[in-house]
Amino acid sequence: MSIGAPTDEDALRKAFTGVDYAFVNLNSWALGIKNEIYWGIRTFEIAVQSGVKHYIWSSLDNYFLETHYDDSLRTGHYYGKGNVEQWMSALPQTPMRWSIVTTGPYIEQLLGFQMPKKTASGEYDFRLPLKDGAIPYAALDDMAYYVRWIFDHPDQSAGLNLKLSVEHVSLPQLASTFTEVTGKPAKATNITIDEWFKEAGLEPVLNHRIGSSYVPWEEDMLLTVYEHFGAWWRLYQRSGGRNGILRRDYALLDRIHPQRIRSLKQWMEKIGYDGDRRQAFTVTKPWEL
């Protein structure tokens, strides 16, 4: 049920009326960095006004200071959410408890724009600009469990930034695990970011500014599709596995959710991944917002 826009204070107050527990995830693609920071803070304030008891902010990795705010890694939805996370981290747990859930690329992207391409010889080719990096994929099927755990265990979760992931997955691992699970031949091809744009069919929209249909008067402050996704891939090229700049505490995740999806292999086996079918996973293209 839709009751209004996230930039409508009356709609936000209506949404929080009678609510004790809130999970908040703003649409970065529609808002852009500047507006997500403002409305991320304002939404928190209105939740406090409304008497919400426990508030969860859905975030992405805040790697900015660690990388000296490197503009080559300036990814729009990370900067918006991460800066709100940084602001929240300085607040006390009264009058409203708060927690943060940090996710990352959904592993379900392997059902869409990260699917392998089947060659004429029948080999499946994972073609991504990942270099020697790794992606800490998050599984959608596990997210609700973690959110419920946060609300059910405020003594442990208040003030916690719970960073979710199945595991850090490298490009060669995609191909080897796919073959192990399916028995089909596969390879991993590291392509350039520009090659990825071309193969993904994004060349016609590379100069489109993400969020411009929502805030057209601030186009000069919005990242283009080329800037955004170029930085996104460079970030994961530099992630360096579980001890890199995008870290996860897998022991903590195991303790909280012993039945979680723990590996790429387990996820592929669970859904019957075959590299051919786009299985019930769609994402609105940010340049269509």
- Tens digits of residue pLDDT in 80-99: 999 999 999 999 999 999 99
Q: pTM for the whole thing? A: 0.92
56 within 8 A of 98, measured Cβ to Cβ: yes
> What pLDDT, on a 0 to 100 scale, did the predictor assign at position 289?
35
Q: What gap in Å lies between CA 104 and CA 167, rounded to an integer?
A: 11
For 152-199, write each residue's pLDDT tens digit: 999 999 999 999 999 999 999 999 999 999 999 999 999 999 999 999
Query: Can you name the CATH fold of 9-288?
Result: Rossmann fold (3.40.50)
Residue 286 contacts residue 225 (beta carbons within 8 Å): yes
Q: 75: closest CA among 262, 261, 255, 226?
A: 226
Rounded Cα distance, 178 and 61, in Å: 27
Collapse the DSSP code of 256 into the 3-class scheme (helix H, G, I; strand E, B; otherwise coil) and give the result: helix
> What's the confidence (pLDDT) of residue 220?
66
Q: Which residue pairs, CB below 8 angstroms and at least 24 apart, start in 224-227?
A: 225/286, 225/287, 226/197, 227/74
Q: What percent of the chain has pLDDT over 70?
A: 91
**pLDDT tens for each residue of 217-238:** 566 678 999 999 999 999 999 9
